[in-house]
Amino acid sequence: MNEPEDIEIVAEPEQATGTSHSLALPDQQLPDKLYVIPIHNRPLFPAQVLPVIVNPQPWGKTLERVSNTAHKCLALFYLDSPPGDAAAFDPDKLPEHGTLVRVHHATEEGGKLQFVAQGLTRVRIRGWLSRKPPYLVEVDYPKSPLDPRDEVKAYGMALINAIKELLPLNPLYSEELKNYLNRFSPNDPSPLTDFAAALTSAPGAELQEVLDTVPMLKRMEKVLPLLRKEVEVGRLQKELSAEVNRKIGERQREFFLKEQLKIIQQELGLSKDDRSADLEQFQQRLEGKTLPEQARKRIDEELNKLSILETGSPEYAVTRNYLDWATALPWGVYGQDKLDLKHARQVLDAHHAGMDDIKARITEFLAVGAFKGEIAGSIVLLVGPPGVGKTSIGRSIAESLGRPFYRFSVGGMRDEAEIKGHRRTYIGALPGKLVQALKEVEVMNPVIMLDEIDKLGASYQGDPASALLETLDPEQNAEFLDHYLDLRLDLSKVLFVCTANTLDSIPGPLLDRMEVIRLSGYITEEKLAIAKRHLWPKQLAKAGVAKQRLAISDAALRALIEGYAREAGVRQLEKQLGKLVRKAVVQLLEAPERAVKIGAKDLEAYLGMPVFRSEQLLSGIGVITGLAWTSMGGATLPIEATRIHSLNRGFKLTGQLGEVMKESAEIAYSYVSAQLKHYGGEPGFFDQAFVHLHVPEGATPKDGPSAGISMASALLSLARNQAPKKGVAMTGELTLTGQVLAIGGVREKVIAARRQKLFELILPEANRGSYEELPDYLKAGLTVHFAKRFTDVAKVLFP
């Protein structure tokens, strides 16, 4: 073996001699030169015998040197750092004291060196003989000064009593104690103290302080608190363990008693096992129901399968869930319709103010059912802006018929399995929403509302809109197939009521299967009636306020509608009324005896400045007021045209116009340019004019085929240098030959005109019938001109 250069002249440790104060190795004295190995988890005490594991590099050579000595001893020092290679070992970081250990049974296994270290006594480094592996040091052995015998004895007894308390708490401590008793006398205080410290789970730094404390009395003073702390931790751990065992024991006892009771009841015939109970329950559910032959056969097969399956098997749970759904459906159970038109009118009038034409449509629909004797194979689609009462109308239809009502929203739905169910091939499979609806309502002819049908999504999981085709087609839904049940269901008696804000996003084949009923926005008078009859009492009841203590005037309601809730529906109006009630309740609490009356002048104090101001209608040369339809209802649409300069011909469009409106503007520009002489303008006006056409509120996207005549009128007014007739609003599409085409949303546009105090309108001749169908209160006071060609429009604007 090659010796390191710095220790070649040094004698081997076994040749050294020294003097011991207390313990001598057999047949020789304590060595004064020792090899050093660091340990990292916790210090090893003289009273311990423990296995030590080290890396072959760099400590293999050290153990080889130790094995060649006569005493087979080395020094173990605690190093408070993670174990690393030799380069990371700094001799200067070693603590003051370590432990002299004898090495037993050194072996190599699994790439590690392992030996049993038998602690003998404390050791202290006097000097370094080699600072390279294998590390070699000169050592001495510290002596403990003499301490008062009585105090040492008292501390020793305290330590022994603490150890006695600790032993019952953990059986591992008793093994440690046996090992100690085999080697030491309990009357020897030094090993006893070290043994007591070794029993604790204190951090390595605290244990090293004990190892560094040589005086016996001071060492005992350090060890006793550590031992008492260990006793307290052990006692707490034992209490927690006992509590856990007690709870587990109670549950096990309860479980065994229940199992015994179940077996006794079965033996006496007082109860059935789980399988028998399930079979009986499913068979009872089918009593009184009329199942199709196919469904009866399939359910019988599943019942037979359930009777032979083990209750603990996964297949049993799958079959049981299937039967739970299949037997819960109301096969052949139909509710009795109340086909009473008078009752239907009362329900509709009680729940909804205004909307006479909608109520008439629904009454006609119910009348056909009453005449025929049943309502079947009908799909009603209610289309209108948010907040106009589409969902509540569906509820009213169900109430007037006396049918159960089930509503679910299909807005954002992307998985067709939500409609037709998941296949029974994986955990968590469920039937579709329609089967769930039938199970809940317990009849085969409920009213089912599909809300937000215009917001259906599509993804890689399927297209729910296509899945709805089979559901809503009267020719197909008599044999609707749910993927989970895999049984044919008759949905032909279900009355489907769908709601949507617009028709644009509904697929054509789906829309073709529905009867469309349009709900327009409310005018101020209708909103006023709804607020007085429904919304205000609802908010008072919600807040628990008596109507005698809080009231609102009609003028305040009208001002609220005009200034804060001008949208087509009444949802915003309801929110503002709720806000009024909440603010008024604060005043009622501050003055319990007073009553609050809200007038029109109080609204700004309650709600702040009005959101909507009375719009100043634009007027002048090149300015026209058009009418537009949006998903939120009707709106006025001012259109402006101006000449920027006369240097060259040009045409510019602004206002976030969609492709359709851009085309309308191009058509209007071309038509007016071509026919300018016919309409009294200078023929060459547009040849030298750069014209800018703008639709105000540029932040709002606008599109639709109804602004053609409005744009043409603005350009004609500019070319004639003549302001159009005041107070006139118009809507209609224009062709290159001057034809005025029909538009949609007549009701909404008329309401928007009335809201802006515009009482003279120009509509396409093709929409005369739509206008005539409007209620009289909407047509009251209006002067309407029907235009077949643009010439008719020009006659009204430029008499």
Active site residues: 706, 749
Residue 415: which residues within 8 A CB-CB, separation 6 or more?
A: 459, 461, 462, 464
C-alpha radius of gyration, the chain, whole number? 48
CA distance 233 to 231: 6
Pairing of strands 760-764, 783-787: parallel
CA distance 535 to 529: 9
- Report the candidate in 635, 572, 569, 570 with the shortest Cα–Cα distance to residue 607: 572
DSSP code, position 31 = P
- Report the candidate in 375, 444, 342, 449 with the shortest Cα–Cα distance to residue 406: 449
DSSP code, position 479 = G
Helix %, strand %, coil % for the chain, to 5? Answer: 45, 20, 35
- Report the candidate in 144, 136, 43, 18 with the shortest Cα–Cα distance to residue 97: 43
Residue matched to tokens 């499979």: 429
Q: Which amino acid, one-letter code, is at 315?
A: E
**Pair of tokens at residue 583:** 């603010």
- Report the candidate in 702, 715, 724 with the shortest Cα–Cα distance to residue 652: 715
Class of residue 15 by CB neighbours under 10 A (exposed 0-12, middle 13-18, buried 19+): exposed
Instruction: Work out the end-to-end distance of the chain between its first and last CA atoms, rounded to an integer number of angstroms.
Output: 125
- Report the candidate in 504, 593, 579 with the shortest Cα–Cα distance to residue 543: 579
- The strand pairing partners of 623, in sequence order, are 640
**Pair of tokens at residue 333:** 């159970």
Residue 51: which residues within 8 A CB-CB, separation 6 or more?
A: 114, 115, 116, 117
- Report the candidate in 477, 379, 464, 370 with the shortest Cα–Cα distance to residue 421: 464
CA distance 707 to 713: 10
CB contact at 8 A, 444 and 493: yes
Most distant CA pair in the chain, distance: 138
Q: Between the CA atoms of 36, 42, 45 and 49, what dihedral angle is there, to the nearest 10 degrees?
A: -90
CA 430 to each of CA 311, 576, 579: distance values in angstroms, whole numbers, following the listed order: 21, 42, 42
CB contact at 8 A, 754 and 729: no
CA distance 680 to 243: 102
The phi and psi torsions of 136 (rounded to 5 degrees) equal -130, 135
Q: Where would I find the beta strands (DSSP E) of 594-696? A: 596-598, 623-630, 633-645, 650-654, 690-694
- Report the candidate in 69, 65, 70, 77 with the shortest Cα–Cα distance to residue 117: 77
**Number of helices followed by number of strands (H, E) in the chain:** 28, 24
CA 31 to each of CA 3, 102, 127: distance values in angstroms, whole numbers, following the listed order: 20, 12, 14
CA distance 98 to 210: 11
CA 412 to each of CA 388, 456, 648: distance values in angstroms, whole numbers, following the listed order: 21, 5, 51
CB contact at 8 A, 189 and 150: no
